Amino acid sequence: MSSSHCFENPPALDPAGGGGKVVDDFGGQKAYVAGSADSKAAIVLISDAFGFEAPNLRKIADKVASSGYYVVVPDFLHGDPYDSSNPNNPGMWLQSHDPQKAFEEAKPVIAAIKEKGVSSIGAAGYCWGAKVVVELAKVHEIQAAVLSHPSLLTVDDIKEVKCPISILGAEIDRSSPPELLKQFEQIDHFVKIFPGVAHGWTVRYNNDDAAAVTSAKEALQDMKNWFNKYLN
């Protein structure tokens, strides 16, 4: 399910942010890319409702790229991230941003990565993006997956996953409460609940909050460890 948590604490978007570059057509999608295209392993990062211009998401992309991965962050929201100043119901935004559509759009992106000679691909999704990653994981499009504070997921979704999947959840989360994520763990997948943090903490944290930064860094390291284990 999704909740208001998915649309709270919006970041200040920066289209020019990050140390990588924005390309207009990567497998049919505008995308932020970082790292060497000669890498044999790649990671696709799929954003939450605030899109691929979120500064912390691009920081994550750059840090993952610095570990030797080729990183692609597609704009599956097509320049239309959720606008928290708009009084429209978040449900209306979700109706026009179906994760299933993004899943179909992700297939050509992955094909474009493979054309570069990449031998293994992982994907990480945040909130809304986690649903897209799970759909990719159901059909052997990727070799490993990481979900951070996921939304819109069910136990049946997780049962269909075909690759190793790590789920990083928040103690305070109406979209994916710990009791739901613990059910996912019973299906032989790794689940970790971060205490004292709320939905969105990995990409929408306050840089002036030392505890929040520490938790986000821990989640990033967990993600990199997971991909290092299954993609290298």
pTM over 0.85: yes
Name the CATH topology of 4-231.
Rossmann fold (3.40.50)
Q: What is the mean pLDDT of residues 171-183?
A: 75
pLDDT tens digits for 131-159?
999 999 999 999 999 999 888 888 889 88
Looking at per-residue confidence, does 57 or 86 come out higher? 57
pLDDT tens digits for 25-52?
999 999 999 999 999 999 999 999 999 9
Question: b/e map of 39-52 (b: 16 or more CB within 10 Å)?
Answer: bebbbbbbbbbbbb
